[in-house]
Structure 1
Amino acid sequence: MAESAGKDWRVSDAPSENWVYRFLPRGLWPYAQLARWDRPIGWQLLMWPCFWSSALAANVAKAEHQFYLPLFVFHLFLFFAGAVAMRGAGCTWNDLADHDIDAQVARTRSRPLPSGRVTRFQAKLFMAAQLAVGLLVLLQFNTFSILLAISSLLVVAVYPFAKRFTDWPQLFLGLAFSWGALMGWAGMFGTLSVAAVLLYAGAVVWTIGYDTIYAHQDKEDDALVGVRSTARLFGSRTKIWLWRLYGATFVAIAASFALAGVGAAAYLGLLAAAAVLVWQIVVLDIDDPVQCLALFKANGRVGALVFAGLVLALFFLPG
């Protein structure tokens, strides 16, 4: 499958009907693949904690008669653009760091670097361009938010190497991928709060959970090349761990909502999201890589449901 993917310039784990392959010139495909534009679930999962935090802060601002709808909408646009750019830069960095490993794993050897369709120098230039877009987005925020974002760069840089020295690389992913749960609040108020930190904690354990499901796709290849993961660590106890992780997600986010004083609609959205998480655990077959990928992608709906509840709560508030 990887060989045929290389011949038509696609990668083995991306949908062939994606807009990248329908609208972009073939010469741009390798760069779109480096940024994972053909797999949008990644930037969506990076974006949702940003959106949650921004909507949570908007609820508080409206209750305090400080809400300004155009600013909220502008922040959502910035977080969307930033998520696409920074997820792409992060994936490019990850591929540079994992160049040799990806060449040994069936699912990843058709990617642009191990297949030779992009050089390391070209990949670095492309990463720099994406980082420049991310910086442009970041500079639209207040000084506190800019410094807060910069403070995340260490964990972002370490993440691709975590699989080499810990069984918990998903924790490092969660710490990096969930940073937006702090950024939305910081962008609105120029400070942090306990509510925002609890939202971040909930997003971190959610990320560990869904990426554990994702990692079960590669566990056999990972074992052969010595890559560590929570999928390999948990093994047959994965469902037990997912109950713990997703349970902690629900508790942390509900506590965040309670501290922020959001309305009932937010809790309805959270309950709907929790139902999707429970469904993932119940039906999960860790030995079915196709199903693991589908359940991983279902977390896009989890993010959307939590955000929808917060938006409904916001517009049901008086004032």
Structure 2
Amino acid sequence: MTVPQDTPEAAGQVSDAPKGNWVDLYAPAWSRGYLRLSRADRPIGTWLLLLPCWWGLLLAMLHTGQAGWGDLWLFVASAIGAFVMRGAGCTWNDITDRHIDGSVARTASRPIPSGQVSLRGAFVWLGLQLLLGLVILLSFNSAAILMGVLSLGPVAIYPFAKRFTWWPQVFLGIAFNWGALMLWVAHVGSLGLAPVLLYLSGIAWTLFYDTIYAHQDAEDDAIIGVKSTARLFAERTPAWLARFLVVAVILMMAAVIVATQGGDPMARLVALIAPWAFGMHMFWQLRQFDAEDGAVLIRLFRSNRDAGLLPLPIFAIALLI
């Protein structure tokens, strides 16, 4: 595919990245291809990986009624880890999808199909990110380290899911919400019903937002034979989004109820506002949904950072009660 020399793609920019992002403007020229490979120019993915971590940590603190300096490190470490491991996941995804990406208009300008990064360079970059992620993981307790190692399985499988199932978004949800389990374990030391319910809520949320996202590529995916919930649901998508919304809210409410059993009733009442606020934002997205308008689809997808942030201050206030 020949790229006109006056297009952003000719300068190495990725077509679906926000214009004027920090990578394009400020990163050293030699690093831009690798940072684009990690989606550092599109931070929404890091947020979507990080927010379930913070949900899990704050809910665990509500459960135990304890907060310490170690939790501050968990808060910071999970942010660094989300950035690094999201980058590693995207690098692995682009390695496995390099031939598909070259056939889809939105992804043809990505670093590997456009020639910004060689396949060998991508593998080296993947290894460096995984090594840094391991260093961060080793600062957690042994149970959380085990959870972190187990998370690599879903991450490895996800890029192939679109080849064998109409529900690849389920595999993305399994991988992207693992932090809710891991950060609970990092604070509490063991799993329980509450983090599992929160994890399942996050998977329903991922099905919601990534179905919206996948509608951008539905036509190209049909041509090349890639499967997705967007193609599966087609005109029934709004009804399915409503189902995912309801499931996500109910499961988060159940997680809060279980986590706060035996605690302060007022703290529980305040914490239960979180799933409602979360659900209201998802309802707003559902009302705005338009499968034919790419600009609306990407705006709604990116707005899930705000949806995922809403429970955090509410959990924090409940913790202070």
**Alignment length, in residue pairs?**
312
Deviation digits for residues 193-240 of structure 1 (CA, Å, limit 9, x no counterpart): 100100000001110110000000000000111100000000000000
How has the CA–CA distance of structure 1 residues 227 and 187 changed in structure 2, closer, same or farther, with 3 Å as cutoff? same
- The answer to whether 1:147 aligns with 2:119 is no
Query: 2:14 maps to what in 1?
Result: 11
CA distance in 1, matches of 2:125, 2:269: 44
Tell me the distance in 1 between the aligned counterparts of 2:275 and 2:72. Answer: 22
Residue 2 of structure 1 deviates from its aligned partner by 6.6
Q: Distance in 1 between matches of 2:298 and 2:9?
A: 21
Match of 2:234 in 1: 235
**TM-superposed deviation, 1:265:** 2.6
Matched, 1:114 2:113: yes
Describe the SS at the equivalent of 2:12: coil
Q: How does 1:140-219 map to 2 (within 5 A)?
A: 140-219=139-218
Output the CA distance in 1 between the equivalents of 2:57 and 2:14: 34
CA-atom RMSD in angstroms: 1.2
Indicate conservation of the 8 Å contact 1:2/1:109, yes or no: no
The alpha carbon displacement at 1:269 in A equals 2.8
**Cα-to-partner distance string for 1:43-89 (whole Å, 9 max, x where unaligned):** 00000000000000011221xxxx23312211010100110000000
| SS of structure 2 residue aligned to 1:14 | coil
Hey, what's the Cα distance between the residues in 2 that align with 1:188 and 1:258?
18
Between the aligned partners of 2:182 and 2:48, the Cα distance in structure 1 is 15
Displacement, 1:311? 1.1
Aligned to 1:303: 308
Matches of 1:74 and 1:154 in 2, distance apart? 26
Q: How does 1:3-152 map to 2 (within 5 A)?
A: 3=4, 4-62=7-65, 67-152=66-151
Cα distance between partner residues in 1 of 2:289 and 2:18:
22
Q: TM-score, normalised by structure 2?
A: 0.95
CA distance in structure 1 between the partners assigned to 2:180 and 2:192 by the alignment: 11
What's the offset of the Cα at 1:9?
A: 1.4
- Contact 1:2/1:11 (8 A) holds in 2: no
CA distances 1:20-61 after superposition (whole Å, capped 9, x unpaired): 122211221111100001100000000000000000001122
How far is the alpha carbon of 1:307 from its aligned partner?
1.5
Contact residue 52 and residue 181 of structure 1 kept, 8 A: yes
Mark the runs of 5 or more structure 1 residues left unpaired by the alignment: none
Q: Structure 2: where are the runs of 5+ without partners?
A: 261-266
SS of structure 1 residue aligned to 2:284: helix
Q: Measure how far apart 1:264 and its partner are.
A: 2.6
Q: Which amino acid aligns with 2:84?
A: A
- Name the amino acid aligned to 1:147: L
Aligned counterpart, 2:263: none
SS in 2 for 1:216: helix
Instruction: For 1:80 and 1:196, locate their aligned partners in 2 and report how far apart those are by CA, in whole Å.
Output: 19
Whole-angstrom distance in 1 between the partners of 2:24 and 2:64: 42
Per the alignment, residue 294 of structure 2 pairs with: 289
- Compared with structure 1, are the counterparts of its residues 22 and 244 closer, same or farther at alpha carbon in structure 2 (3 Å cutoff)? same
Does residue 267 of the first structure (1) align with residue 266 of the second (2)? no
Partners of 1:70 and 1:270 lie apart in 2 by 27
CA distance in 2, matches of 1:16, 1:164: 31
